Structures are given as C-alpha cells and as structure tokens.
A and B are shown apart, each in its own frame.
Chain A
C-alpha cells in the first residue's frame, strides 16, 4: 500500500495558501476576496491534518475543527457586513469603496 508523503500535502497546502494571497490582492469583487481568505484558512486546515497524521496525534485534527468553527462565525459576520455595504452603495467592487481616501 502506498502512502502519499507528508511533503506533498504541505506543498499543496502552500500552493493553496499562495493562491489565496494572490486572490486577496488581485481580485476586485468583495465576495471573491472573501473566498480567497477562506481558501487560505482551508489550506491551513490541510496542513494541520497532514501534520497530525504524521505526528500520530489527534490534536491537529481537533485544531482543524476549531478553525472551521471560527471560519463559520467569521463568514456569518463577514457576509452581513458585505450585505450592508451593498445595500448602501449598490456595488461590490472593492475599488469603489474608497470614500475615506485623502
């Protein structure tokens, strides 16, 4: 039986994390930016689970649950904030939300 080596998981996780950063910086739609953050969190979860498997500990898998719960709470608040922004401005383009520039 073949095992996928730990490093593959970690590289995949790093790639996903980097994609999340790129999405956060280059995407213009607020929802997509928010999704990029979720992608980063899930990349972290993948690392946690892979490390937990490698270390033969259950802790890392529990941490992944913690992260999911917190991400869900964050999504609830975040989507509510995005909704109020949309109601007041009728746009989801991040560049147009700049009423406080100098």
Chain B
C-alpha cells in the first residue's frame, strides 16, 4: 500500500501552514540562544509573523482543495475554517502573552515556539482524514500545551496544572489510541473514507458491537479533550493553575481542534452509525451543561469560574452535534468561533487584573475595575454578556443557531433544559459585572497597571470579533453552511 509513492508539489501547498509554523517555531528556538535578555520580545513578534504567514498560507492552500499524502489529510472548507480559527486563537494569545510575560519578567523564546508547535498539532487535527494522523496531531498539540501549562516552573499552581493536564491528557490519549487500534483491526484501515466504506457495506461490515466499542473508545478520548462530562474533572484545576494567557489558549485552540476532529470522525467515518450514538451524546450534552453551570455558581476564583463556564459551553456545542445535521455542524463552527473570541478576551482581562504572580484572581478582586479602567471593564462586560448570550454579541447568535439546530432535529427537551441551564449561567456571569461596576475598588486596583500594548490589541480584536459576529453573523454563515455540506458528502 505504501509502495513507491511520490508526493506531488501541490500536496506540499496543502500542508504549507504546518510547514511554515514548523520553520518559524524552530527558528525561534535557535534564535532564543543568541538573543540578549532584553530582546526576547522580538521572538514574540517573530511568532506573530509566523502565524500571520501561516494564515495566509491557509487561505492559499484553499485554492487547491483536495487530499494529500495518500489521503491522510483533506483540505476542504471545513478544514480551512478550523485551521484559520486555531491560527487566530494563536495570534490573539501571542499578543496577550507579549504584555503578560513582560510583566512577569519571564519572556523567553521557548514559550512562543511551544505555542507555534501546539498550533501545528491543532492544524493537523483540523485537516486529518486518517486516525493515526489524528493521534499524531493530538499529541503534537498536547505535549506542547503540557509544557505551556507548567511554564512558570517555580510556581506551585503552574506545576500542579501541568501535572494534572499531563496525566489526564495522556490517559485520555490511551483510550483514543485503543479505539484506533480496534478500528484498524476491524476495518483493515485507518482512513476515514475507507472506514466509512467498510462499515456501510453489508458484505464487509464488521460486528456492530465491536465497531461500537471502538467508536466509543475514540469518543471517550475526544470528550476528555473537549472537557465534556463525565470527563471534565481536569479542566477546573488546569485552567485555574495555568498562567492566564495559556489558559486562554488551552480553552480555545485545542478545544476547537478536538471538536473539528470529533465531527470529522463521526460524520465521515462513522456516519452510518449516528442513530446509535445520538442517545449517548444527548445525555452527555445535558450532563455537561448541568455540571458546568451549576458548579460555576459556587466559585469564588474567577479563573475557576471561567473553567466551569467553558465546560458548560462544551455542553452547548455537544447539543449541536447531537442534532446531527448540516445545520448542527454549521452551528458548532459558529459557536466555536464566537466562544474562542469571547473566552480569550475574558481570560486576557483576568490575567491583566491578576497582576504579578497572579495574586488577584478572586471575583472580589475585580471590584472597582469600572472606576479605574472604564474601557477595560466595558470590554470585559461585553465578553461576559456574550458568554451569557445577550443579543448584539456573538454569543447570542451562537446559542441561537445551536438551539435552532436542536429544535429542527426535534430535540425539544434538550433545548428546553439547555436554555434553563443557560439562564442559571446568567447568575454567576452577572456576579462579575456587579463586582466591576457596583463595588468599591480594593487592594487589587491599587496594583493595577495600565493595559500593555499587546494585551490591548488582543482584547480589542476579540471584542471587535465578538461584535461583528453578533451584528453581522452573515459574514460567516454562508461559508459555514457550505463547509458543513462538504463534511457530510463523501
């Protein structure tokens, strides 16, 4: 099967973003050794350049859609969207990190190259059309983020976050891999199109129970990565312990890539199985929304609160996946875009207020932000309203499309219960707004530094994106429905 295969030039164009990220990542690591202590910021700028170039290459690659390298990757509208999304996430997080790392006196090249390496993994995940490729992409992304989570190696919370992320992440990967092994054994292939062909052919079809077990093992591995219940236990500790820009990155990038791969595997590979896993996904989506939203109610640490909130958001996305329709896929994509922007924005502001060594991370520490820095407070409020799902923000249309897809798939109860939990969510989100606008400034505000330029770019860009998605959702929608239609058709 491998034989004397020679790739065409056009196949390299299809993976150009990954190649460029790789070159920039290695370049930064090499330059790190020869860069003077005060100049490390330039490495961050180089990372920004790398991501922008990769984004351009992503658009260029879309001019020659198709499969590459013996069909292990597919470039279509769906892959292009997710590759673009993770690159935007990377860009915003590098901007935010420029200011954050300078404040902590911890600028270094390896931080930026690790972000680039993680992005490579997420790009591979977005384009993978083959299960071993999924595994490799997941590990490239994860191993880099394990290190990022523990970047401040003398900080006990960072250590703990890295340890938990690493142990539970590898545990989940083992499940995914075991599922892949069974899939390979049953169908004789790890290519998704081939798997689809074998399991939908009555003559070749392997035993349904075993195929179901293989699919379930893969699903467990991916649900871990997207922090869906009952596999969400790692998320609060990791999100709370890691540095804020890293948390922003973890909560948006790997999650988007994992959802992309989940859709790809279960729509392309196991498409004919969808009626079997629908009840399972139904209960997981509901459980995730309930656990996320109710656990968030009692939190006093704002990072931990946001961690539970992002669990809840994974639940909403799973609702759209349960709908199992083109509308549902488009809703997932829209939700992930809106979620990435608002969540990164919120975490960047949290990291800004937290000051050196992240001392101020309780909700009370946000008190009086509106008096000291009205613009920052207003932007944070915008992100919070978007997370609630208030109209004119991206979060509103995201929820709207998700629940509309659910209703069209006749998931009435899931919609009702989902909306009920999102009403609960308004309580804890509003606690943040109340603290910012109605409480007197405390000790944390005395230490508040002005917004650094990198952080400012990240926050404003995220806010602008949130507003654009909220006011003109039609800029994305036609492309999303087109991508969704590509995914189902093989």
Contact = CB atoms under 8 A, between A and B. Distances in A.
Nearest to A64: B181
A20 B185 contact: no
A55 B188 CA distance: 7
A60 B131 CA distance: 12
A20 to B, nearest CB: 7
30 contacts: A10-B185, A24-B167, A37-B170, A44-B178, A44-B181, A47-B181, A54-B185, A55-B185, A55-B188, A57-B188, A58-B2, A59-B2, A63-B132, A63-B190, A77-B166, A78-B167, A81-B146, A81-B150, A81-B162, A81-B166, A82-B163, A84-B150, A85-B159, A85-B160, A88-B159, A97-B160, A97-B163, A100-B157, A100-B160, A100-B161
B178 A78 contact: no
Contacts of B139: 70, 73-74
Interface of A: 10, 17, 20, 24, 30, 33-34, 37, 40-41, 43-44, 47-48, 50-51, 54-55, 57-60, 63, 66-67, 70, 73-74, 77-78, 80-82, 84-85, 88-89, 97-100, 102
Contacts of A10: 185
A17 B163 contact: no
Contacts of B2: 58-59
Contact of A88 (B156, B171, B178, B304): B156
A99 B184 contact: no
Interface in B127-179: 132, 135-136, 139, 143, 146-147, 150, 153-154, 156-157, 159-164, 166-167, 170-171, 174, 177-178
A79 to B, nearest CB: 10
A30 B163 contact: yes
B240 interface: yes
Contacts of A20: 174
Interface string B174-205: 10011011101100101000000000000000
Given A57-B188, A63-B190, A100-B240, A84 B159 contact: yes
Contact of A73 (B143, B190, B240): B143
Contact of A100 (B136, B153, B241): B241
B167 A33 contact: yes
B132 A78 contact: no
Given A41-B174, A77-B146, A99-B157, A59 B1 contact: yes
B237 interface: yes
A28 B325 CA distance: 44
B177 A44 contact: yes
B167 A34 contact: yes
Contact of B185 (A33, A51, A100, A102): A51
Nearest to B295: A102
Given A37-B174, A77-B147, 9 more contacts: A33-B167, A40-B171, A44-B177, A57-B1, A60-B184, A63-B184, A66-B136, A78-B166, A84-B153
